Amino acid sequence: MTQQTPLHATHVAAGARMVDFAGWDMPVNYGSQIEEHHAVRRDAGMFDVSHMLALDLEGADAKAFLRGLIANDVAKLVEPGKALYACMLNEQGGVIDDLIVYFLSDAAYRIVVNAGTADKDVAWMQQRLAATGAAATLSVRRDLAMIAVQGPNARAKTWAAIPGSEAASSSLKPFQAAACGEFFIARTGYTGEDGFEVMVKAASGPDLWDALMTAGSGHGLVPAGLGARDTLRLEAKMCLYGNELDETTTLIEAGLGWITCVDSHKGDFNGRAVLAEQKSRGTARKLVGFEMKERGIARHGYPVLVGGSKVSVVTSGSMAPFLEKNIGLAYVPSEHSAIGTTLGIEIRGVSVAAEIVKTPFYKRAK
């Protein structure tokens, strides 16, 4: 049986098309996925992301534990509310999950992990806590709802919906959060646009959703589903766990060396030796973005060809609504990863031409 977020009844009442996503009954769209995509790019949209899991790590050894748990370094976080993007790795450098860590104090952090890996993540962290003997406890926060508000006008509409939020969050820089009464407001997202991810007690989630719907003199936020969230993150070349990242993929291969502190003095962490070697000598394959040069849409799992021979499969692919192009991501041999390289994408048994291009495909104006 699929799980339901605190906003499930709200989505059903709005006529959303619900699908099973990672064991959760979630809205894929409320009508037109393309219109929802454009609303986020041009104005503002909102997503129920309560299926993702918030975890609170507290204790005297919380910082030291996290420094050994992830490839990025939480020691860089010194201002309350500051956050970073990070990954937990296995001994081979493969990605157990990608996540966001918020610094509350040296003895308190909030971690947000993916829905599909939540149980695995909690088990892994508990195992590592037991193995290291760290003086820290991990609390699962399924009592929270989370709404992502994204787009050029997202912040202004959030301020209109939540009294006092402008004073609390107007000075937040990207990857920074602040408390505002019962709300935890983070300037983070997964669309390539500016905006907030807002956490609140589950019981208050539907009221927040309704307030956002009417924010700004009745011209509120457009509800958007997982379909638009996926095409938005693809245009911005943001990795999706299970597609671009998994336990057989390393951060160097994925182009995420910038969140890998192999050269710092933070100490050891799982996979560090593997990543250091790859960073020094390179990798056999790299994640690239491509644009279709002929008619056809690349889909997840379609074969990727170089010189007529299969070298991998498409990890993510779609029509990009805002760019009006067909785009995708795939791992290819490093010697064939240069921008301008021609690939073939096998679609229904036919090789369709594609070209490796500079990414991200879309980058918002600052």
Extract the tokens encoding 117. Answer: 């890996």
User: For residue 48, what is the domain's CATH number?
Assistant: 3.30.1360.120
User: Of 21, 1, 53, which Cα lies nearest the Cα of 229?
Assistant: 21
Q: Are residues 42 and 84 in the same domain?
A: yes
Distance CA 190, CA 269 (A): 26
- Would you say 335 and 248 are in contact if contact means Cβ atoms under 8 Å apart? no
DSSP 173: P
* Residue finishing a domain among 262, 281, 300: 281
User: Of 28, 26, 42, which Cα lies nearest the Cα of 191?
Assistant: 42
User: Of 84, 316, 10, 89, which Cα lies nearest the Cα of 75?
Assistant: 84
Between 263 and 107, the more confident residue is: 107
Q: Are residues 198 and 341 in the same domain?
A: no
Q: Are residues 273 and 296 in the same domain?
A: no
Domain count, the chain: 2
Q: Are residues 347 and 261 in the same domain?
A: no
Overall average pLDDT of the 87-98 stretch? 97
Overall average pLDDT of the 89-110 stretch? 97
Alpha-carbon distances of 114 from 50, 96, 160, 242, rounded to whole Å:
10, 10, 29, 10
Q: Are residues 55 and 97 in the same domain?
A: yes
pLDDT at site 36: 98
Q: Are residues 193 and 219 in the same domain?
A: yes
Does residue 28 sit within a domain? Answer: yes
Confidence of residue 49 (pLDDT cuts 50, 70, 90): very high
Question: What does pTM read for this prediction?
Answer: 0.96
Torsions phi, psi for 109 (to 5 deg): -135, 150
User: For residue 316, what is the domain's CATH number?
Assistant: 2.40.30.110
- Would you say 23 and 221 are in contact if contact means Cβ atoms under 8 Å apart? no
137-196 tens-digit pLDDT: 999 999 999 999 999 999 999 999 999 999 999 999 999 999 999 999 999 999 999 999
pLDDT at site 216: 65
Does residue 271 sit within a domain? Answer: yes
Burial status of residue 340 (CB atoms within 10 A of its CB: 0-12, 13-18, 19 or more): exposed
Q: Are residues 342 and 301 in the same domain?
A: yes
Q: Are residues 73 and 220 in the same domain?
A: yes
* Residue finishing a domain among 281, 296, 322: 281
What range does the domain containing 294 cover? 284-357
Q: Are residues 241 and 295 in the same domain?
A: no
DSSP 364: -
Does residue 365 sit within a domain? Answer: no
Pairing mode, strands 45-48 and 144-150: antiparallel
Burial status of residue 203 (CB atoms within 10 A of its CB: 0-12, 13-18, 19 or more): exposed
Alpha-carbon distances of 336 from 307, 312, 316, 330, rounded to whole Å:
10, 12, 19, 12
Q: Are residues 168 and 47 in the same domain?
A: yes
Q: Are residues 311 and 183 in the same domain?
A: no
Does residue 168 sit within a domain? Answer: yes
- Would you say 46 and 145 are in contact if contact means Cβ atoms under 8 Å apart? no
Question: Residue 246: is its pLDDT beyond 70?
Answer: yes
Extract the tokens encoding 53. Answer: 């899991």
Q: Are residues 122 and 137 in the same domain?
A: yes
Overall average pLDDT of the 92-101 stretch? 97
